[in-house]
Amino acid sequence: MIGTLLMGRYRLTELVGSGGMANVYLARDEKEDREVAVKVLKDEHADNGVLVERFESEGRAGKLLHHRNIVRVYDTGEEGGRRFIVMEYARGVTLKEVIKQRISLDPEACIDIAVQVLRALAHAHAKGIVHRDVKPHNILLQANGDVKVYDFGIAQTIGEKRAGEEKTSVMGTVYYLSPEQARAEPAEVRSDIYSFGITLFEMLTGTVPFTGTSVIDVAKKHLNEEVPAPRSVDERIPKSLNDIVRKATRKNLRLRYRSAWEMRRDLMRARREPDGDFVRVKEERLPAGSEREKPQPDRARRRMYAIVGAVIVLVVVTVAVLVFGSVPPEQGQRVVSVLGLQQGRAESKLEDLGFVPDVVIEPDSEEPAGTVFRQEPAEGETLVPGGVVRIFVSAGVSMGTMPDVLDMKLSDAKAVIKKNNLTVGEVTQVTSDEPSGYVVRQDPEPGDELMPNSQVDLWVSAGPEELPEETAAAAEAP
């Protein structure tokens, strides 16, 4: 196909990649005068309805996503019986290739990569799109430090269920598969969180947590075995990163991070407090016979009592209730009311009774900030110890939106941030072709939803890199 002109503008110039489903060509967009990548579905798959749908899904999802950390889709089409997707041509190597070469990455590199991946996922989730196949193979690292997520081939809209798909296949790559996907249930935002938690585990340790003689063996482990703590593989891994991985990879999706933004926030804090004990990892009950990692030595004693109590009850209770399920009163513990309590007191009260609190922050509530105004199950219902009680906590005010302060003077950017009820975080000087003193990067990005008083980190130009005197003289010579 070299030399072929598609849609009167995309001329294929070189085959740069080939997979089981498609070939990827470097092409010249003659209308915009730029290099692009064109992914062409192989002829032998033209009549394969499942693969055609996956291919078209990638194009549909890509057109909705416009983010610096996502490989952009410019166009889609069909010509001469061939389906194709026109994409940004992004140079780089996959995260999987880097892991293979380095065995594992240092914590600072892991955080930098993870923060950018989570920005991409947060953007996709905000558009109502779940990736469903997050893995190192689909994360591109570029020479300038940028990270790009790609291959939304099995992505779907949140809540969408394609006819017959979930019954006939387990979507995604088994080593990174969430438990709900392994059960052939629809994926959701926290399914991507789990898959990226497994990816972060591999970044830190150089290996995936579960292996087996078949894909079924690995899928069963995702269903039934707790993901080992990264520090059980390498004790040098900082505690904060260890806990972030554990929280992201809970079997019960209600116990994971609620959003990519929330996980990213903890990673940013982990950069400042590598050995901090700020991540709340909620224990969960696993199916009988499952393997559980050994308790962490610094686990709070009352949490240990709750877990031990749950194990004892599981021996005698014949019907396991994972979330919100009721049991006969004589076999369980009555739920008490925590309405009106501050979040910390409510969590402590539930933990003392052997329950696991699941906190949901409601930004639009009119109740005082930090106050529990709703709970599920209600007071008086019965749960086994170790059961989950969801508490809804008021944020007091509505979420805000991150303003765009790029290309502003630092003083102006700070004023805009404060005006929007946000706080200025770390300010980092970087070399740049932009004028000295101007903002060249911000985190969170423009348009991101934020709680009031959230921290905003800025990168400010220190001017271009100074050349050595000899080099500068040579550059100025006629």
Tell me the catalytic residues: 133
As a whole number of Å, the CA-based R_g of the chain is: 25
How far from 328 is each of 110, 303, 325, CA to CA, in Å?
47, 24, 10
CA distance 49 to 369: 51
478 three-state secondary structure? coil
The angle that helices 107-126 and 239-248 make with each other, rounded to 10 degrees, is 30
How would you list the strands of the sheet with 388-394, edge to edge? 356-362, 388-394, 372-376
Do residues 116 and 146 make contact, with C-beta atoms less than 8 angstroms apart? Answer: yes
Pairing of strands 423-430, 455-461: parallel
Do residues 388 and 355 make contact, with C-beta atoms less than 8 angstroms apart? Answer: yes
Q: Where are the beta strands (DSSP E) in 119-252?
A: 129-130, 139-141, 147-149, 156-157
How far from 2 is each of 24, 25, 28, 30, 448, CA to CA, in Å?
11, 8, 11, 15, 42
407 three-state secondary structure? coil
Of the candidates 18, 35, 23, 126, which has an alpha carbon nearest to the alpha carbon of residue 74? 35
CA distance 459 to 40: 39
Do residues 104 and 52 make contact, with C-beta atoms less than 8 angstroms apart? Answer: no
The angle that helices 189-205 and 260-272 make with each other, rounded to 10 degrees, is 30
Sign of the alpha-carbon torsion through 360, 364, 370, 371: negative
Do residues 45 and 83 make contact, with C-beta atoms less than 8 angstroms apart? Answer: no
Contacts of 205 (CB under 8 A, 6+ apart): 104, 230, 233, 234, 237
Amino acid letter, 170:
V
Q: CB 316: neighbour CB atoms within 10 A?
A: 8
123 three-state secondary structure? helix
Sign of the alpha-carbon torsion through 425, 429, 431, 435: positive
Triad 302, 304, 305: Cα angle to 5°: 65
